[in-house]
């Protein structure tokens, strides 16, 4: 029996201000599947609903209709408890801005999600050290975010997203806040991490060069994925 897709969206609908004169239908039956180990780009104009789609796929928001399955689990309309557990254990997030906790070191920012997921401190320390080494930041592990460059901050954010070994990585313009050279280097690191772990990744980007390096690209047009 073949493995279930890392992510399956089935007819996802999202409407804001439903039934009002200013009703906005952001998603209109959006459907897609992403397999384990696959890197998929998500491209759409600003305001077309990319972030809404990512939030629904990552269980930060609920669809008004349709299904969201992660590794075969139908979790789109599950209870808050089930959704929270799935989000912590199955999904990793990377945003355009790193959102690291400023009072904690790089290592601590990678350790904390693991502790929240019930991982023993010794094991969390070891995994954080391993991930930071993979992205070339062993020597910066004890630095706080303010002492890191933009590219270093984003690499720490990648490590934090991978801290709990998710099956699905969702990234919203992960290099959009970096200069072109740094963006390329950071994207190389992201692709290497995704390929080596075998997770699936859905990466929203406005950058056609980066999109062309992915396995395929989904276009969000008038609320429909194609």
The end-to-end CA distance of the chain, in Å, is 27
Task: Write out pLDDT tens, residues 115-158.
Answer: 988 999 999 999 999 999 988 899 999 999 999 998 899 889 98
The continuous run of DSSP H or E covering 125 comes out as helix 121-134
Is the Cα torsion angle 76, 80, 85, 89 positive or negative in sign? Answer: positive
Q: Which domains occur in the chain, in start order?
A: 37-62+78-216 (3.40.50.300)
- pLDDT for 1 equals 42
The continuous run of DSSP H or E covering 69 comes out as strand 65-70
Task: Write out pLDDT tens, residues 25-50.
Answer: 889 999 999 999 899 999 987 778 88
How far is the C-alpha of 1 from the C-alpha of 19, rounded, in Å? 44
Where is average pLDDT lowest: 139-148, 178-187, 211-220?
178-187
User: Is residue 14 pLDDT above 80, yes or no?
Assistant: yes
| DSSP notation for 30-52 | EEEEE-TT-EEEEE--TTSSHHH
Structure tokens at 20: 């009002």
CB 211 within 8 A of CB 41: yes
CB 9 within 8 A of CB 203: no
Q: What are phi and psi of 41, to 5 degrees?
A: -85, 150
pTM of the model: 0.88
Task: Write out pLDDT tens, residues 49-104.
Answer: 888 999 999 998 899 999 999 998 898 888 888 888 888 889 999 887 788 999 99
CB 211 within 8 A of CB 201: no
Q: Is 137 exposed, middle or buried (0-12, 13-18, 19+ CB in 10 A)?
A: buried
**Cross-strand pairs, 42:** 204, 218
Is the Cα torsion angle 61, 62, 63, 66 positive or negative in sign? Answer: positive
Select from 69, 72, 45 the least CA-distant residue to 57. 69
Give the CA-trace dihedral at 182, 183, 184, 187, to 10 degrees. Answer: 120
Average pLDDT for 184-210:
84
| More confident of the two residues 176 and 99 | 99
């Amino acid at each position: 029996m073949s493995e279930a897709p890392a992510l399956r969206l089935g007819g996802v609908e999202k409407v804001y201000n439903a039934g009002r004169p200013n009703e906005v239908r952001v998603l209109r039956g959006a459907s897609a599947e992403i397999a384990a180990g696959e890197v998929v780009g998500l491209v759409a104009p600003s305001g077309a609903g990319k972030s809404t789609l990512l939030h629904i796929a990552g269980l930060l928001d609920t669809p008004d209709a349709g299904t969201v399955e992660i590794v075969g689990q139908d979790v789109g309309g599950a209870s808050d408890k089930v959704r929270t557990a799935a989000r912590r254990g199955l999904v990793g997030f990377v945003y355009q801005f790193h959102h690291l906790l400023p009072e904690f070191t790089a290592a601590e920012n990678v350790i904390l999600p693991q502790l929240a997921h019930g991982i023993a401190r010794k094991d969390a320390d070891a995994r954080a050290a391993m991930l930071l080494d993979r992205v070339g930041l062993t020597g910066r592990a004890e630095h706080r975010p303010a002492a890191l460059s933009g590219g270093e901050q984003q690499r720490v954010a990648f490590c934090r997203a991978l801290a709990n070994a998710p099956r699905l990585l969702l990234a919203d313009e992960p290099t959009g806040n970096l200069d072109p050279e740094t963006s390329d280097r950071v994207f190389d690191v992201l692709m290497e991490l995704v390929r080596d772990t075998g997770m699936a990744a859905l990466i929203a980007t406005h950058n056609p060069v980066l999109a062309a390096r992915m396995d395929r690209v989904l276009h969000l047009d008038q609320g429909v994925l194609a």
